[in-house]
Structure 1
Amino acid sequence: MLELLFSALITIVPDYLYRHYKQGKRLGHEITIFSVWYELRWGITACVVLAVTLLTVIFYFHPTTSNVTSLFRTVSILSDRPGRVAEVYVTDNEFVLAGEPIFRLDTQRQEAAAETARRRITEIEAATAVASAELAAADGQILSAESQLKQAEDEFRRRQELSERNQNVVTEQELERLRLSVQTLVGSLEAARAQRDALSARLNTLLPAQKASAGAALLQAETEISKSTVYAGTNGTVRQFLLKPGDLVNPILRPAGILVPEGSGRGRFQAGFGQVSAQVLHTGTVLEITCASKPLTIIPMKVVEVQTSIAGGQLRPTDQLIDIQDRARPGTIFTVIEPIYAGHADLVPPGSRCIGVAYSNHDKAIKEGEITGFSAFLSRIVDGMGIANAIVIRAQSLLLPVKVLVFPN
C-alpha cells in the first residue's frame, strides 16, 4: 500500500494536475469514472510499472518472513533397560541440576544376581582352601609312595643278589612277586603325581578362572543396579513427567519424560527466508522481528549463520528412485539470528513464533570502494527503501494483538 501511494504521488497525481490546470479538464466533468483510464492512462500505466518495480526491489533486497522461531533442545529421559519404577525423586515442572537422580527402577532381580555372584565367590574361596589341603595330602601320598617304592626296590635288589649267589635261597616265584610289587608301586607313584598335578591345575588355574567369572558376574549385576537410577545429564526443567512408583518403563516404546536444558533457545532464533533471497542474506545482515509472545515490541537482530544447503534437497538411498515432482514444496534459506543488544530477547519464551524483515546495507561496501559511482547512488536508494518494510513490521506489531485476540482464525 505504501509503495502504491508513493508511486501514485509521482505518476497519477502529476498527470491529473497537468490535465486539470494545463488542459482545463475538471474532475467529474471531462474526467469521470468512465473516462479516467483514457484521461489518466499515462499516469496509471507509469504508476503500475513503478509500483511493481518498487515492490520487487524492496522485497528482494529487504526480504520478509513469517517463519521465525526460537528452537530449543530437549533431552529425553530414558532408562537403559525396561523395568518397573520403584522410586520417583522429582515432580513435573521441577528444576533439576546435573547429576541429580530423577527416578529409580526396581532392582530385585539384579540384587539377587549380585547376591548369587557373591555366594559363588565365597564357594570358590572355600573350594580353594579345600584344594590347598588336598594338594598337601597329595604331596604326602607322593612321599609315601616314593618311600614304599624305594623299600620295594631295595628288597627286590637284595633278593636278586642272594639269588645270584645261591639259587636255592630265593625262588623264582618270590623274585617275580617282588618285581610285580615294584611295578605296582611305580604305577601308584605316577598316579599320585598325576593327582597332584590335577589338584595344582585346579588350584592355580580353574578356581581362579571361576572366581574371575563370578567377579565379572557380580560387577555386571552391580552395574545393572547402578544403571537402574536415571540421573539428569544437565541442568534443566523436567516436563511431561508423570511417573509413579509401579509404572512400567520401556525405553523403546516412549521416554519417561522430557528435560528442557537451562537456557536452551534463549536469545537465539532461527528464520527461514525464500530461496530468492539467497544472494542477499549473509552473516551480519540486520533484521527486525516481532513476536506474539512479546507484543508491541520490535527486536533488532543480526544474522550470525547462514546454512549453505537448503532443506528439501537432501537425498537418502532407498529402494525407490526419487521423482523430483514429489518434492514440489521448496525449502527455505535457513539462518540463525541473535539479538544485536544483549538481553532484548530474554523475555521471549523458547519456541515462540515470530515475523521478521531483513534490511540490506551497502554502506560498508561503499566506504571501502567496492561500490562506486552510479551503482553506489542506487545502492543508497535501495537501502533507504527498507523504511517501507520497517513501517510495515511496526504496523504488524501494533495489529498483532488485535488480530490474535479480536479476530482469531
Structure 2
Amino acid sequence: MLEVLLCSLFTILPDYLFRKYHQGKTWGKEITFFTMWYELRWGISACTILAISLVTLIFYYHPSTTNATPMFRTVSIMPEKSGRVQHVFVENHQQVKAGTALFSMYDESQVAAIEGAQAQVQQVEAEFVTAYAQHAVTISVVERDKSAYLRSQHEYDRKKKLSLQGNNIISESEVQKLADTVAMQQATLSASLANQAAAQGVLDTILPAKRASAIETLESVIVDKAKRTIYARIDGELQQFALQPGDFVNPMIRAAGILVPTTGEASGKEAVQAGFNQLTANVIKVGTFAEITCMSKPFTIIPMKVASVQSVIATGQVRAVETLLDIQERARPGTLTVKLVPLYEGGLDGVIPGTKCIANAYSYHHELINSGTLSATESIYLHMVDTVGIVHAIILRMQALLLPVKGLVFSGN
C-alpha cells in the first residue's frame, strides 16, 4: 500500500492536475467514480506499472520475511535404563548448573551387584595369600630336593672315584645304584622347580588377571549404580519436570522432563534464524545488514547482520525410505535459512527465545559504487536500489507499531 501511495504521487496526481488545470475538468462533474478510469487511464496505468516494478525491486534487493524466530535447543532428561524414581532433588522451572543431581532411582539390584563384585575382589585377595603360602612351600621343597640331589651327587662322585682306584673297595653294582639315586634326585628337583615356576606364574599372571577382572567388574557395577542418579549435563532451566517418587521413567517412552539451555548459541539468546524467499539467494550474503522486530519485545527495532547462510534448501532433503520419492509431494518451495546475529552486544536482551519475529534484510552497494568499476548507469541504478530500501524500513517500523494491535485486537485471542 505504501508503494502504491508513493507511486501515485508521480503518476495519478500529475494526471489529475493536468485534467483539472489544463483541460478544466473537475472532480464530481467530468471526473466521477464511473469515468475515473477513462479520464485518468494514463496515470492509473503508469501507477500500476511503477508500483509493481517498485515492489519487485524492493522485495528482491531488500527481502522481508515473517518466518523469523530465535530458535533454541532442548535436552531431554532421561536415564540410560528404565527405573522407578526414588528421590527428586530439584523442582520445575528451577535454574540448574551442569553436574546438579536431578533425581535418583531405586538401586537394590546395583547394591547386590556391588556386594557380589566386592566379594569377588576379596576372594581373589584371599587367593593371593594362599598362593604366596604355596609358593613358599615350593621354595622349601626345591631347597630340600636340591640338598638331597647335591648330597647324592657328592656320594656318587666319592664312591665312583674309589671304584676307579681298583682296590675293590666299592662294587660296581653299588656305584650304579648311587647313579640311579642321583638321577631320581635330579628328576625330583626338576619337578620341584616346575612346581615353583607354576606357583610363581599363578602369582605373576593368573591372580593379577583375576584381580584386574574382578576390579573392573566392581567398577562397572559402581558406574551402573551411579547412572541411577541423573545429573544435569549443561546449565539450563527445567521445563515440564513433574517427577514424583514412585514414577516410572523409561528412556524409550517417557522422559523425565526437558532442560532448556540458558547460555550459549543453543539458548536462542544469541541469534535469530530466518527463512527468506529462494529468489533472494543471490542478494543475501554473509555480512548483509538486517533489522527485526519481535512480538515479545514490541515497538522495538533491533539491528542485525547475516552471520551465515545455509548452503542447501531443506525441502530438497532425501532420506532412504521404503517408497520411491515423488517430486510432486514436495512441490511447495522451501525457504533460504539465514542466521542473524545482533549488530551490537546485548541486542537480543529482552527477546524471549522462540518468539515470532519479522525480519528485513538490506542490500548495501556503497563500497561497490565507490570502487569505480561500474558505469554511470550501473552506479545510478545501485544508488536507486539502496535508496528504496528506506521504504521497507518504514514498513517494518509501521509493522512494529501495529504488531501489538494486530495481535491483541484483530487476532480474536
| TM-score (norm: length of structure 1) | 0.84
Partner of 1:83: 83
Residues 286-332 of structure 1 show CA distances to partners (whole Å, capped at 9, x for unaligned) of 22222111112222222222223222223344554433222212121
Instruction: Indicate the larger mover: 12-21 or 313-322.
Output: 313-322
Which of 366, 371, 384 is residue 368 of structure 1 equivalent to? 371
Partner secondary structure for residue 223 of structure 2: helix
* Maintained 8 Å contact 1:295/1:400: yes
Partner of 2:257: 257
Matched, 1:30 2:19: no
Q: CA RMSD in A?
A: 3.5
Instruction: Quote the Cα distance in structure 1 between the aligned partners of 2:369 and 2:385.
Output: 13
Partner of 1:273: 276
Instruction: Quote the Cα distance in structure 2 between the aligned partners of 1:68 and 1:135.
Output: 78
Shift of 1:120: 2.0
Count of paired positions: 406
Q: 1:51 to 1:193 in 2, by over 3 A?
A: closer
Q: 1:186 to 1:393 in 2, by over 3 A?
A: closer
Matched, 1:306 2:309: yes
Instruction: Quote the Cα distance in structure 2 between the aligned partners of 1:391 and 1:254.
Output: 49
* Maintained 8 Å contact 1:366/1:372: no
Q: 1:17 to 1:226 in 2, by over 3 A?
A: same
Q: 1:182 to 1:385 in 2, by over 3 A?
A: closer
Matched, 1:211 2:198: no
Instruction: Quote the Cα distance in structure 2 between the aligned partners of 1:268 and 1:344.
Output: 10
Matched, 1:392 2:395: yes
Partner secondary structure for residue 252 of structure 1: coil
Residues 206-240 of structure 1 show CA distances to partners (whole Å, capped at 9, x for unaligned) of 22222221122122222223333333223221222
Q: 1:358 to 1:130 in 2, by over 3 A?
A: closer
Instruction: Quote the Cα distance in structure 2 between the aligned partners of 1:182 and 1:338.
Output: 95
User: Which amino acid is the alignment partner of residue 253 of structure 2?
Assistant: L
User: Which amino acid is the alignment partner of residue 409 of structure 2?
Assistant: V
Partner secondary structure for residue 401 of structure 1: helix
Partner of 2:333: 330
Matched, 1:5 2:5: yes
Q: 1:126 to 1:9 in 2, by over 3 A?
A: closer
Partner of 1:103: 103
User: Which amino acid is the alignment partner of residue 3 of structure 2?
Assistant: E
* Maintained 8 Å contact 1:267/1:346: no
Partner of 1:377: 380
Instruction: Quote the Cα distance in structure 2 between the aligned partners of 1:88 and 1:378.
Output: 66
Instruction: Quote the Cα distance in structure 2 between the aligned partners of 1:403 and 1:323.
Output: 39
User: Which amino acid is the alignment partner of residue 295 of structure 2?
Assistant: A
Pairs within 5 Å for 1:106-117: 106-117=106-117
Partner secondary structure for residue 385 of structure 1: helix
* Maintained 8 Å contact 1:66/1:355: yes
Q: 1:64 to 1:123 in 2, by over 3 A?
A: same
Partner secondary structure for residue 90 of structure 1: coil
Instruction: Quote the Cα distance in structure 2 between the aligned partners of 1:16 and 1:142.
Output: 128
Partner of 2:358: 355
Shift of 1:383: 2.1
Q: 1:403 to 1:140 in 2, by over 3 A?
A: same
Residues 22-53 of structure 1 show CA distances to partners (whole Å, capped at 9, x for unaligned) of 33334343334333333322222222111211
Shift of 1:180: 9.9
Instruction: Quote the Cα distance in structure 2 between the aligned partners of 1:276 and 1:238.
Output: 41
User: Which amino acid is the alignment partner of residue 338 of structure 2?
Assistant: T
* Maintained 8 Å contact 1:284/1:303: yes
Residues 76-132 of structure 1 show CA distances to partners (whole Å, capped at 9, x for unaligned) of 323333333333221111111222222233333233222222222222222222233
Partner of 2:240: 240
User: Which amino acid is the alignment partner of residue 60 of structure 2?
Assistant: Y
Instruction: Quote the Cα distance in structure 2 between the aligned partners of 1:202 and 1:301.
Output: 72
Residues 171-217 of structure 1 show CA distances to partners (whole Å, capped at 9, x for unaligned) of x9x99999999998887666655554444433333222222211221
Q: 1:140 to 1:279 in 2, by over 3 A?
A: closer
Instruction: Quote the Cα distance in structure 2 between the aligned partners of 1:237 and 1:304.
Output: 27
Which of 281, 286, 290 is residue 287 of structure 1 equivalent to? 290
Instruction: Quote the Cα distance in structure 1 between the aligned partners of 2:399 and 2:385.
Output: 22
User: Which amino acid is the alignment partner of residue 277 of structure 1?
Assistant: T
Instruction: Quote the Cα distance in structure 2 between the aligned partners of 1:370 and 1:257.
Output: 59
Shift of 1:16: 2.8
Shift of 1:273: 0.6
* Maintained 8 Å contact 1:97/1:234: yes
Instruction: Quote the Cα distance in structure 2 between the aligned partners of 1:255 and 1:350.
Output: 22
Residues 320-346 of structure 1 show CA distances to partners (whole Å, capped at 9, x for unaligned) of 443322221212121111223333320
Shift of 1:351: 0.9
User: Which amino acid is the alignment partner of residue 236 of structure 2?
Assistant: G
User: Which amino acid is the alignment partner of residue 121 of structure 1?
Assistant: V
User: Which amino acid is the alignment partner of residue 384 of structure 2?
Assistant: I
Matched, 1:407 2:413: no
Instruction: Quote the Cα distance in structure 1 between the aligned partners of 2:394 and 2:305.
Output: 19
Partner of 2:94: 94
- Structure 2 unaligned residues grouped into runs of 5+: none
Q: 1:319 to 1:370 in 2, by over 3 A?
A: farther
User: Which amino acid is the alignment partner of residue 326 of structure 2?
Assistant: D
Shift of 1:265: 1.4
* Maintained 8 Å contact 1:146/1:189: yes
Partner of 1:40: 40
Instruction: Quote the Cα distance in structure 1 between the aligned partners of 2:119 and 2:68.
Output: 63
Instruction: Quote the Cα distance in structure 1 between the aligned partners of 2:121 and 2:184.
Output: 41
- Structure 1 unaligned residues grouped into runs of 5+: none
